[in-house]
Amino acid sequence: MSLHENFWCVIPAGGVGSRLWPLSRAEAPKFLLDLTDSGESLLKTTWNRLLPLASPDRIMVVTGMSHRDSVCEQLPDLLRDNLALEPSPKDSSAAIGLAAALILRRDPDAIIGSFAADHVIRGSVLFERAIRTAVQAAESGSIVTVGIRPTHPATGFGYIKAGEPRTDIATFDVYNVRKFVEKPSRATASKYLSRGDSLWNAGMFISRADVLLAQMAESEPELVAGINKIADAWGTPELARVREQVWPTLKKIAIDYSVAEPAARAGKMLCVAAHFEWDDVGDFASVANLLTRGRAKDLAVLGSQARVLSESSSGIVVAQQDRLVTVVGMQDIVVVDTPDALLVTNKAHAQDVKQLVNRLRDSETEVL
Amino acid sequence: MSLHENFWCVIPAGGVGSRLWPLSRAEAPKFLLDLTDSGESLLKTTWNRLLPLASPDRIMVVTGMSHRDSVCEQLPDLLRDNLALEPSPKDSSAAIGLAAALILRRDPDAIIGSFAADHVIRGSVLFERAIRTAVQAAESGSIVTVGIRPTHPATGFGYIKAGEPRTDIATFDVYNVRKFVEKPSRATASKYLSRGDSLWNAGMFISRADVLLAQMAESEPELVAGINKIADAWGTPELARVREQVWPTLKKIAIDYSVAEPAARAGKMLCVAAHFEWDDVGDFASVANLLTRGRAKDLAVLGSQARVLSESSSGIVVAQQDRLVTVVGMQDIVVVDTPDALLVTNKAHAQDVKQLVNRLRDSETEVL
């Protein structure tokens, strides 16, 4: 049973996740990884999470052309018509905008929800409840985001400052969005937590497809014009030519800036305050925390072949190889052992892996 | 030109060096490793260091039977008669005692010097000067050890407390030994350093072969009796039978306890205060310090195939594999990357690798 006859899910599957190098690679981006030791990629888990909300004929995946085969392998039930391929990465506005434009041409009353392919969510009942509420709120023409009730003063997430409750829409959990706040300092995050008026921005957007595109067009008219050109050519012999011509000209911009923030300033943004566990798994510190379920003194191990022996250590070992990994006296350590590259860092420096990857890119190494 | 017509060198090549696991293995003990990136094993470097003091016909190596081929490969100039093989490890008294007994049968006036196969020494001129002085002091019937002038309050070495200078033997550098002190605490080591009366015990012993055996026989008569039985059978068809019968009964005891300490108590021990650089390279912290020449903020790299990329890190990476090793934001890190085992620890825990190896031994793993 689907949630709503006009509800469509969009899964933008982009982003390498360079802070997860050397596990993540250009050809093994984060959404194709299994970061929770579940035996499934994050993409597959995302797909499965959405199935109670929409049947496969209304789940669209947007991904890079180079990932087509991997995505189809992961998602055998994905319909060919529901796979939108990007010639090059153009950030989330282009990806979600294109999906919205394609869906709109099939279903003028479509409500779309976009859900990142590489986040981790626990608590499917709470997730479904939140999305049902969001769809209900989106029916009236609002753009709706989902905010997670914070459990600690996280500095790695963006925040949503909630305004008045919208009991006219739902008895519980729907609020006006006052503003979005980028990753805050520890002090600011603590203040948010104690005030209790802010939510983690889970990066989900639910709205009518036409409303989303209209909002995007207000701030980025050329981008939406380009998206519409491609969507008009979709399924015709003209597609390749049009896409080749238009796609490279599209502006790279996150949907947060093209849609969410302007809509919030205009008072058109709502949020659903949700209670499920959510993590965008931005770095190995997050992976470790997820696997140890927050027990900071544990050493998490990821990898079915892993043989790990440790003494007085905590953190995470990711072992892709069948060899012995030993860790002695290291707190919050991060060890990632892959066939052609090894990373040793710690949780405090997990974000700095991005700089390392940038250096590797500059050196044109083969291990990216 | 050899130093002295009766001077013989003994190289006991034993000891796996388990704190250097996974670089050191049962089949790749520390003395066969290149820990200074010189391109040569410690054994080969030891051999070369002794050549100015004794020609190959007077350098004897004592090692385990399982290391015969490796040792002969490393030391092509080692004479077959000068290789004494141990059926099993019996610590330094048996090894050096056997060498002394064998040499004594060929040269009743032999003075032997024993030099560990797995130490690092820099300053060959100063080393040779110290050994010349020690041989001169040993001629009169003393047992002579070599002490290194400390440069910092090391807690990983044993110390020699020096007594009166023996200007009757040499103008400079020869002293009575008052006592030996085991690895001291940091506070005690600092006290020794400030007093200036103590030396690092470099584990070298120089004495007449007959004097050494007589001293050993005082405290360990059965051990010396066993050694003599084997030495008597050496070169005869009886050797295999005698060795098989006697060797397993020999007491495992370090020469420090069977010879050096009793001799010091009896006032028969001298030391030469030496100025060369010396390290017993007991763990990876020592290897790192040697390679960075004490620059604690450097990241040392050991391994000809190593491809290492680091950000804000210090310590050591030992890379035996042709793959990329990356280290981000880790101070005093120790990473040892071998084909079948990886170790991650830090300098402060470098000694704890021994406990890890003990656990591996208990688990009967194949990577020892």
Of B326, B340, B356, the CB nearest to A328: B356
Q: What is the per-residue pLDDT for A15? A: 86
Residues B112/B209, Cβ–Cβ less than 8 Å: yes
Please tell me whether residues A125 and A248 are part of one structural domain.
yes
> What does each of the 368 residues of chain B score in pLDDT, given as a tens digit?
456 889 999 999 998 899 999 999 988 999 999 999 899 999 999 999 999 999 999 999 999 999 999 999 999 999 999 999 999 999 999 999 999 999 999 999 999 999 999 999 999 999 999 999 999 999 999 999 999 999 899 988 999 999 999 999 988 899 999 999 999 999 999 999 999 899 999 999 999 999 999 999 999 999 999 999 999 999 999 999 999 999 999 999 999 999 999 999 999 999 999 999 999 999 999 999 999 987 888 999 999 878 999 999 999 999 998 899 999 999 999 999 999 999 999 999 999 999 999 998 888 777 77
| Assigned domain for B330 exists | yes
Residues A85/A176, Cβ–Cβ less than 8 Å: no
Closest CA to A101 of A20, A10, A31, A16: A10
Q: What is the per-residue pLDDT for B1? A: 45
Q: Give, for A63, the enclosing helix (H) or strand (E).
A: strand A59-64
3 state SS of B293: coil
Please tell me whether residues A204 and A68 are part of one structural domain.
yes
Whether A181 has its CB under 8 Å from any CB of chain B: the answer is no
Please tell me whether residues B220 and B340 are part of one structural domain.
no
| Assigned domain for A1 exists | no
How many domains in chain A?
2
Pairing, β B269-274 against β B143-148: parallel
A364: distance to nearest CA of chain B, Å? 13
Task: Give CA–CA dist B211/B2, Å, rounded.
Answer: 22
Please tell me whether residues B227 and B136 are part of one structural domain.
yes
| Assigned domain for A2 exists | no
Average pLDDT, chain A: 94
Please tell me whether residues A204 and A300 are part of one structural domain.
no
Task: Give CA–CA dist B305/B288, Å, rounded.
Answer: 18
Whether B343 has its CB under 8 Å from any CB of chain A: the answer is yes
**Residue A54's pLDDT band (cuts 50, 70, 90):** very high
| Assigned domain for A184 exists | yes
Report CA A225 to chain centroid distance, whole Å: 25
**How much is the average pLDDT of A116-127?**
94
Please tell me whether residues A291 and A273 are part of one structural domain.
no
Please tell me whether residues B264 and B323 are part of one structural domain.
no
Neighbouring residues of A30: CB distance < 8 A, sequence distance ≥ 6 = A15, A16, A17, A20, A24, A42, A118, A281
Domain carrying residue A228: 7-279
Please tell me whether residues A82 and A162 are part of one structural domain.
yes
Of B22, B327, B367, the CB nearest to A344: B327
Residue ranges in A4-67 assigned as alpha helix (H): 42-50
Whether B45 has its CB under 8 Å from any CB of chain A: the answer is no
| Assigned domain for B367 exists | no
Q: What is the per-residue pLDDT for A1? A: 45
The CA–CA distances, whole Å, from A327 to A308, A341, B160, B366 equal: 8, 18, 35, 18
B33: distance to nearest CA of chain A, Å? 21
ipTM score of complex: 0.84
Please tell me whether residues A104 and A184 are part of one structural domain.
yes
Tokens in use for B32? 């066969």
Residues B347/B365, Cβ–Cβ less than 8 Å: no
Please tell me whether residues B172 and B320 are part of one structural domain.
no
Tokens in use for A157? 């997430």
Please tell me whether residues A236 and A296 are part of one structural domain.
no
Summarize pLDDT for A196-231 with one digit per residue, the tens: 899 999 999 999 999 999 999 999 999 999 999 999
Pick the residue of B18, B344, B355 with the most A CBs within 10 A to test the interface with A by mutation. B344
Whether B344 has its CB under 8 Å from any CB of chain A: the answer is yes
The CA–CA distances, whole Å, from B25 to A95, B15, B46, B85, B367 equal: 54, 10, 20, 19, 8
Tokens in use for A114? 């976009």
> pTM of this prediction?
0.87
Q: Give yes or no for a cis peptide into A22 (omega within 30° of 0).
A: yes
The reply to whether residue A328 touches residue B349, judged by beta carbons under 8 angstroms, is yes
**Residue A129's pLDDT band (cuts 50, 70, 90):** very high
Q: What is the per-residue pLDDT for B334? A: 97
**How much is the average pLDDT of A115-141?**
95
**Residue A321's pLDDT band (cuts 50, 70, 90):** confident
Of B279, B302, B332, the position where a domain reaches its end is B279
Whether B361 has its CB under 8 Å from any CB of chain A: the answer is no
Of A262, A279, A296, the position where a domain reaches its end is A279
Residues of chain A numbered 281-320 and touching chain B (CB < 8 Å): 309, 311-312
Please tell me whether residues A218 and A86 are part of one structural domain.
yes
Of B326, B341, B346, the CB nearest to A326: B341
* Residues of chain A found within 8 Å of residue B325, distances taken between Cβ atoms: 341-342, 344
The reply to whether residue A356 touches residue B324, judged by beta carbons under 8 angstroms, is no
Question: Pick the residue with more confidence: A159 or B4?
Answer: A159
Residues B175/B165, Cβ–Cβ less than 8 Å: yes
- Compute the count of residue pairs across chains A and B with CB atoms less than 8 Å apart: 109
| Assigned domain for B1 exists | no
Of A226, A252, A279, the position where a domain reaches its end is A279
Can you give the CATH number for the domain in which B228 is found? 3.90.550.10
DSSP string over B87-112: SS--HHHHHHHHHHHHHHHH-TT-EE
Residues A123/A210, Cβ–Cβ less than 8 Å: no
